[in-house]
Amino acid sequence: MSVESQAGRGPEIENLLAEKRTFPPDPAFTARANVTAAIYDEANADYVGFWERQAKERLSWYTPFGETLQWDLPDAKWFVGGELNVAYNCVDRHVERGLGDRVAYHWIGEPGDTRTLTYADLLREVSKAANALLELGVRTGDRVAIYLPMIPELPIAMLACARIGAPHTVVFGGFSAEALSGRINDCGAKVLITADGGWRRGKKVGLKHHADEACTDAPTIEHVIVVDRFGDGVHMVPRRDHWWHDIVDRQSESCPPVPVDAEHMLYLLYTSGTTAKPKGILHTSAGYLLGSAFTHWAVFDIKPDDVYWCAADIGWVTGHSYIVYGPLANASTGIIYEGAPDTPEWDRWWQIVEDYKVTILYTAPTAIRAFMKQGETHPAGHDLSSLRLLGSVGEPINPEAWRWYREVIGGDRVPVVDTWWQTETGMILISPLPGVTTTKPGSATFPMPGIEADVVDADGRSVPLGGGGYLVLKRPWPAMLRGIYGDPERYRQTYWSRFPGMYFAGDGAKRDEEGYLWLLGRVDDVMNVAGHRISTTEVESALVDHRSVAEAAVVGKTDAISGQAIFAFVILKAGQQPSDALGVQLREHVAYVIGPIARPKYLMFVPDLPKTRSGKIMRRLLRDIAEGRALGDVTTLADANVVDTIRSNTGQAEEE
């Protein structure tokens, strides 16, 4: 880069929002906590040795590994030569040591039906399902696609695949036939496991017809297994389709787990690029299992008597790592809830917490803000005193939402852990440890033990404390992705080429004077206003900080004077009315909280925002709306009507 262009450049991303409150760990929590501060020094002194010890302690091996790490950037091999079975580690070994009666999952269907699965139940069901796959000709290494609602058969199917070493690819139940066939074709899956449908907001969401449509375009699928959730009959294709209760129930309850290499592919999970075709993120067996198990134990402080609820969908990575693999490897007891948080009423989750005495809850900021919007009466009507830890993941959590979560859900007494990670990282990489770290609302705090993260400028140089830039990782970690399926060049390009020698996460971040990390959103979303690079997260947090605002999304709109101008989409809390006066107030509030440069030029009140199925705001679509352009790819959009509603409002976007 030339000297001229350097001289004209300000900071990579401005550091605008200052959050001063701190929450030290409760000494009573610390006294019982799984980890102490010493773990950081231990892990960082020799991270390879640290993971080696963890892998020997936490995992059961058929063949011990030799070298812990072979690192030939960007290709990592962890626990070289070791052999194990992931399902054995998640299920069998617990039963063998007498934990067969421990509950693995309390499952709650949306209409109120329930199922309890102990570890012994899980062993039986997983073995039968694995035998069914074998009967259909699935062999170690063959791919299996899973397209199911949040029912017990979903983790059972995943573990059945792991038992025979057949990599799975779970496709979120809300995706279309086209999204499903695209993923099946990318990985050449041989069998598809689906259901007639699942419950969502009191309605049957049919899956089988999407599955059928996908199969017409997916020649590699030889067989389809169908779970009968509704019992109202669906069309079954002769010879290709098999009811789960026919083919699984008649199988033997014994199915020996297949030992696989530590680096054997465990699963593929597709993440959508913004425009290009979805990437099949490839995770392997031992490193992934270790990473998810260790972090689940350390971050959530898991104890044998905990009732742990990760309220994500298993169809995205949070469910893979923190509903299925991590928790089961740790023999913990979890909740799976099939349906929507507002069915029948907005207190459904709080009823579940009360009924099952949930101790740990892990969810996303989008859910927290949706609850905030409904006010405090719903949580106040339930006994939430069993909760002892709250977690957040998926997006930057606005300080206001963080405080609401702690105060209203956590009774102002439980720690909140804001956990940063990605489908690609497989495991939590940046998070407080609840018995150790003094937290600040909105900060994911520090890298986990053994992880080295940094914030760098456009040239890859570490930004001094107080500055903003690009989040990178400087060492390999066990659960890291091993590639993009079938596309090594895209893997290298996307993650390892922007900054030589470092993994580029695609997120903006800043570090405050004390070294705390604050995530600033995807760098593709950063706005450039009159030469200032402003993070969407900080402006959104300033808006959410206002007492009338439930949720906000901001994007840059092309502007003749400032290059880009800030366009804010605002959702008000229940009972608040939009008005011009409130619009003015909100702009002033942002200017007051973070400075006049961040004052939105355009502001629009909206009833809803376009989000992905995992709850991330799709700013790309909002940019299209703000610019009045045709929409780009909308396949991952959760509710297509939202965009139309906002569009029909755009005439009303009020300019300052």
Residue 173 CB, nearest distance to ligand WTA (Å)?
Answer: 16
CB-neighbour burial class of residue 2 (10 A; exposed 0-12, middle 13-18, buried 19+): exposed
DSSP 496: I
Choose, by CB under 6 A, the member of 176, 220, 422, 576 that binds ligand WTA.
422
Among 247-255, 310-318, 528-536, 573-581, which window interacts with ligand WTA (CB under 6 A)? 310-318
CB of 123 to ligand WTA, least distance (A): 29
Please provide the DSSP assignment of 101-148 as one string.
TSEEEEEE-TTS-EEEEEHHHHHHHHHHHHHHHHHTT--TT--EEEE-
540 binds ligand WTA (CB under 6 A): no
Binding segment (CB under 6 A) for ligand WTA, from list 346-354, 414-422, 454-462, 623-631:
414-422
Q: Which residue has the tokens 């934990």?
A: 99
Task: CB nearer to ligand WTA: give 353 or 479.
Answer: 479
**Cβ 548 vs Cβ 27: under 8 Å:** no
Least spacing, CB of residue 396 vs ligand WTA, in Å: 4
344 or 506: whose CB is closer to ligand WTA? 506
| Interface with ligand WTA in residues 269-288 (CB under 6 A) | 271
Which of 318, 366 has the CB closer to ligand WTA? Answer: 318
Residues 574 to 633 in contact with ligand WTA, rule: CB under 6 A: 614
Least spacing, CB of residue 556 vs ligand WTA, in Å = 17
Using CB under 6 A as the binding rule, the residues of this chain from 465 to 524 that contact ligand WTA are: 505-507, 519, 522
Q: Report, in Å, the least distance between residue 472 CB and ligand WTA.
A: 12
CB-wise, 15 or 127, nearer to ligand WTA? 15
| Dist. CA 410–CA 433, nearest whole Å | 17
If the CB atoms of residues 89 and 614 are measured against ligand WTA, the closer one turns out to be 614
Q: How far is the CB of 155 from ligand WTA (least distance, A)?
A: 18
Distance of CA 30 to the CA centre of its chain: 27
Helix (H, G, I), strand (E, B) or coil at 39: helix
Q: Are 509 and 396 in contact (CB under 8 A)?
A: no
**Structure tokens that stand for 8 in this block:** 């004209």
Which one of 319, 334, 394, 556 is in contact with ligand WTA (CB under 6 A)?
A: 394
Decide whether 419 or 564 has the Cβ nearer to ligand WTA. Answer: 419
Minimum CB distance to ligand WTA, residue 264 (Å): 23
CA distance 417 to 402: 9
Residue 395 in contact with ligand WTA, rule: CB under 6 A: yes
Task: With beta carbons less than 8 A apart as the criterion, state whether 288 and 329 touch.
Answer: no
Q: Which is nearer to ligand WTA, 68 or 535 (CB)?
A: 535
Q: Pairing mode, if any, of strands 279-284 and 265-271? A: antiparallel
Q: Does 315 bind ligand WTA (CB under 6 A)?
A: no
Q: In angstroms, what is the minimal distance from the CB of 289 to ligand WTA? A: 17
Q: What's the token pair of residue 283?
A: 């995770």
Q: Which is nearer to ligand WTA, 6 or 274 (CB)?
A: 274
Note whether 587 and 603 are within 8 A (CB): yes
Q: Which is nearer to ligand WTA, 83 or 395 (CB)?
A: 395
What are the backbone dihedrals phi and psi of residue 421, each rounded to the nearest 5 degrees, phi first?
-170, -175
Contact 444, 518 (CB under 8 A): yes
Output the CA torsion sign for 41, 514, 452, 300.
Answer: positive
Give the whole-angstrom CA distance, residue 459 versus residue 467. 14
Nearer CB in complex with ligand WTA: 285/425: 425
Phi, psi (degrees; rounded to nearest 5) at 484: -105, 125
d(CA 364, CA 310): 10
Residue with tokens 């597709």: 270
| One-letter amino acid for residue 195 of the chain | A
Determine if 295 is a binding residue for ligand WTA (CB under 6 A): no
CB closer to ligand WTA, 312 vs 387 = 312
> Which residue, chain included where needed, has tokens 């063949």?
63
Shortest spacing between CB 417 and ligand WTA, in angstroms: 9
* Of the residues 419, 437, 494, 564, which one makes contact with ligand WTA according to CB under 6 A: 419
Min dist. Cβ of residue 391 to ligand WTA (A): 9
Q: Tell me the Cα Rg of the chain.
A: 24
* Shortest distance, position 59 Cβ to ligand WTA, whole Å: 22
DSSP 382-414: S--TT--EEEE-SSPPPHHHHHHIIIIISTTTS
List alpha helices for 425-568, DSSP H. 488-491, 536-544
Min dist. Cβ of residue 346 to ligand WTA (A) = 24
Question: Cα separation of 652 and 181, whole Å?
Answer: 39
- What dihedral angle (degrees, nearest 10) is formed by the CA atoms of 329, 330, 334, 340? -60
CB of 467 to ligand WTA, least distance (A): 18
418 lies in the site for ligand WTA, by CB under 6 A? yes
- Under a CB-based contact definition with an 8 Å cutoff, are residues 435 and 300 in contact? no
Near ligand WTA by CB under 6 A: residue from 157, 207, 226, 317: 317
CB-nearer residue toward ligand WTA: 451 or 586: 451
Binding mask 424-453 for ligand WTA (x = CB under 6 A): --------------------x---------
Q: What gap in Å lies between CA 522 and CA 536, rounded to an integer? A: 9
Residues making contact with ligand WTA (CB under 6 A)? 271, 316-318, 393-396, 418-423, 444, 505-507, 519, 522, 614
